[in-house]
Structure 1
Amino acid sequence: MMGPVLAACLLIILSTAWISQANEALCKKDGGVCSCNNNKNSVDCSSKRLTAIPSNIPTDTENLVLNYNSLSKLSPKAFHHLSKLTYLSLSTNQLQTLPEGVFDQLVELDELYLTSNKLKSLPEGVFDKLTKLTRLDLDYNQLERLPNGVFDKLTQLGTLYLSNNQLKRVPEGAFNSLEKLTRLQLQSNPWDCSCRDILYLRNWIREKQGNVSNIEAAECAVGNKAVLEITEKDAASDCVSPNTTTAIPIGTMTPASVIYDDIHEIKVPQENFQKFLGYQEPDHLPTQPQCLMSISGYLGLMMSLMLTSAAILYVFHFLKKA
């Protein structure tokens, strides 16, 4: 009777190995482009010359890194199957816009990095579903304005980076909901201290000084005067235009269908960027190879299947003799 028992144990072990191999194959359906750590539910697709996000990222992924690629657009549903993400980094890409609702399914997200892209604006409500977010990095972009209430739902946010953008002002009440904020980077923006609406930011900095680090570094574009030091006389002009602190009008935004369908390669113009990454831009998008598992994964899967089949036959043999 020991034969069938041993065979059954062997079958269980091999089945477990097969499942693990299958998971690894799933993780590498992009042809091995990304590095995967199934034990930590992490996928690293950094520096892979990607112009589109791989479609076969496992649904149980918690940490996804897409840094140093050439992503210029995102599908509105790019992350909708990744609701378990807690960490997402899209830093150092070519993103010019974010489609509405792109982060809506990431309700568990804790950290979001969008540093070093080409974002000039943000869609209204783009972060509204990220109620567990504790860190948001938007520095080194080209942001010229912030939508009204863009941070209102981020009540758990502790760190916010907005430095090195093109912000002249922020909407009234922009930071009022960020009661847990302890660090805010505002420096290296052309703050317009001649306009009255800068007084909200001045008052907020004065109130939070000592409780939120680095906010004193915000300086006026003219005169190198600290924002917290400006007076009502300095900010005497009423120079707010209709769309200054709101999102881009819907009519001027690229339709979601175009963003989704028109995913194509955009050459990286910065020579320094290419030199830093150490590669040249590919001539085409990865296509069919991304849908194939690696040779090693394939051989391992076939070996697991053969061993599993042998174990099953072994069990049937002893059961038949019994």
Structure 2
Amino acid sequence: MMGPVLAACLLIILSTAWISQANEALCKKDGGVCSCNNNKNSVDCSSKRLTAIPINIPVDTDRLELHMNKLSSLPGMAFHHLSKLTYLSLDSNQLQTLTPGVFDHLVALDILGLNNNQLQSLPEGVFDKLTKLTRLDLDYNQLKYLPSGVFDNLAKLTRLELQRNQLRSVPNRAFDSLSNIKTLWLDTNPWDCSCKDILYLRDWIDDNKDKVTGAQDAACGDQQSKAVLDITEKDAASDCVSPNTTTAIPTSTTTPASVIYDDIHEIKVPQENFQKFLGYQEPDHLPTQPQCLMSISGYLGLMMSLMLTSAAILYVFHFLKKA
């Protein structure tokens, strides 16, 4: 009966070895692109000109630094295995959009940096699962509007940076759930003080000026000398359409049902899986040499592990059959 026991031990050893190899391939000391501090569960992949997120970040990572790279998009599953993450920096990249649900598994996240990107909008509910978030940096982007309720689940947020965007207004009750906010930056946005929508922001700033630093710096886009806080009902007399208001689709641009039907029959395999393995997000971004080495190393390690695991399983069956 020693055969199955030895085989089981072999399986454990092989699994441990493969996980170790995958983690080591990520780290700079082992030829990877990142620096790892295993004692603190920290992974630093900043300033590496990455066009894709490394695929073998350890599941127990607490701090992940990805700032100052060339990330233009994030796969929907990019962080789904990192539920222990408390710090994530994605600032100073080239992000233009965020995929719905991309942060849904980061239930322990405390700090999220998305500043210095090219974001023009945010998906609805993109932060809904981040109930432990205390700091959110969205400054130095190109945000033109905020979805309704985008901050509703962030009751623990103490710092929110929205300065230097293209915001003209905020949705009604946008900040009402931020009961613990201490710092809110709103300056250097082209706030439209001629629209009634701005009155909510004016009233919110007035109600919170004793505890919020930075909100008072919000100024009207057409007359920077006048603060939003000083706007009167007479100033904001116009009924304006919010930029995120859904409008009817003209019939001339409606997609024919036949085209939709044809598309259903021509569904292509999503390239995300291939791009995730190859180490790049878009076809015109070729992977860097370290990324290729990292992907190949992980692939070879996986193949070797599968081969040895299969051999161990056959070994177990052999002894069971003899028994």
Letter in 2 for 1:104: D
- Paired residues of 1:28 and 1:293 also in contact (CA < 8 A): no
1:293 Cα offset (Å) = 5.8
TM-score by length of 2: 0.73
For residues 245-256 of structure 1, the aligned pairs below 5 Å read: none
Q: What residue is the counterpart of 2:234 in the other structure?
A: 233
Question: What TM-score do the two structures reach when normalised by structure 1?
Answer: 0.73
Residues 158 and 188 from structure 1, CA distance in 2 versus in 1: closer, same or farther, beyond 3 angstroms?
same
Pair 1:94-2:98 in alignment: no
Between the aligned partners of 2:37 and 2:284, the Cα distance in structure 1 is 30
Q: SS at the partner of 2:43?
A: strand
- What is the CA–CA distance in structure 2 between the aligned matches of 1:162 and 1:241, rounded to whole Å? 18
* SS in structure 1 at match of 2:152: coil
Over 3 Å counting, the alpha-carbon distance change for 1:192 and 1:45 in structure 2 is same
Equivalent residue, structure 1, for 2:8: none
CA contact (8 A) 1:170 1:245 kept: no
Structure 2 equivalent of residue 301 of structure 1: none
Q: Secondary structure at the match of 2:36?
A: strand
Which residue of 1 is the match for residue 56 of structure 2?
56
Distance in 2 between residues matched to 1:160 and 1:238, nearest whole Å: 28
Give the Å deviation of 1:37: 0.3
Instruction: Point out where structure 2 has 5 or more consecutive residues left out of the alignment.
Output: 1-12, 248-253, 255-267, 276-280, 302-323
Secondary structure in 1 matching 2:205: helix
Which structure would you say has the larger RCO, counting Cα contacts within 8 Å and 6 or more residues apart?
1
**Aligned pair 1:264/2:282, yes or no?**
yes
- Residue 282 of structure 2 aligns with an amino acid whose one-letter code is H
Structure 1 CA distance for aligned equivalents of residues 148 and 200 of structure 2 = 13
- For residue 43 of structure 1, give the secondary structure of its aligned residue in structure 2: strand
Say which is worse superposed, 233-242 or 285-294, in terms of deviation.
Answer: 285-294
Aligned to 1:274: none
Q: Is 1:29 the equivalent of 2:30?
A: no
- Give 1:291's aligned residue: 295
The farther-off stretch of 233-242 and 196-205 is: 233-242
**CA distance in 2: counterparts of 1:100 and 1:195, whole angstroms:** 30
SS state of the match for residue 28, structure 1?
helix
1:101-154 Cα offsets, whole Å, 9 max, x none, are: 000000000000001000000000000000000000000000000000000000
CA deviation string 1:216-240 (max 9, x = no partner): 1000001111000010000000012
Shift of the 161–257 alpha-carbon distance from structure 1 to 2, 3 Å rule, reads farther
Q: Does the residue aligned with 1:39 lie in a helix, a strand or coil?
A: coil
Please name the residue that 1:189 is paired with: 189
Q: How does 1:112-131 map to 2 (within 5 A)?
A: 112-131=112-131
- 1:26 deviates by 3.1
Give the counterpart letter for 1:264 in structure 2.
E
Instruction: Tell me the SS of whatever aligns to 2:88.
Output: strand
Distance in 2, matches of 1:88 and 1:95, equals 15
Structure-2 separation of matches of 1:243 and 1:32: 43
In 2, Cα distance between equivalents of 1:34 and 1:288: 14
CA RMSD of the aligned region, Å? 2.9
Q: Shift of residue 81 of structure 1?
A: 0.5
Q: What is the match of residue 41 of structure 2? A: 41
Aligned counterpart, 1:308 = none
CA distance in structure 2 between the aligned counterparts of 1:236 and 1:256, rounded to whole angstroms: 52
Equivalent pairs, count: 257
The question of whether the paired residues in 1 share the 8 Å contact of 2:145 and 2:243 is answered with no
CA drift of 1:259 comes to: 6.2
Aligned pairs for 1:1-322 (under 5 A) are: 25-30=21-26, 31-224=31-224, 225-241=226-242, 243-244=244-245, 257=270, 263-264=281-282, 284-286=287-289, 287-291=291-295
Tell me the SS of whatever aligns to 2:184: strand
Counterpart contact for 2:91–2:113, Cα < 8 Å: yes
Q: Does the 8 Å contact 1:145/1:245 carry over to 2?
A: no
Q: 2 CA distance for matches of 1:93 and 1:242?
A: 25
3-state DSSP of counterpart to 2:39: helix
Give the percent of matched residue pairs that are identical in Structure 1 and Structure 2: 58
d(CA) in 1 for partners of 2:101, 2:92: 21
Shift of 1:23: 6.6
| Matched-pair contact (CA < 8 Å) for 2:144–2:243 | no
SS at match of 2:25: coil
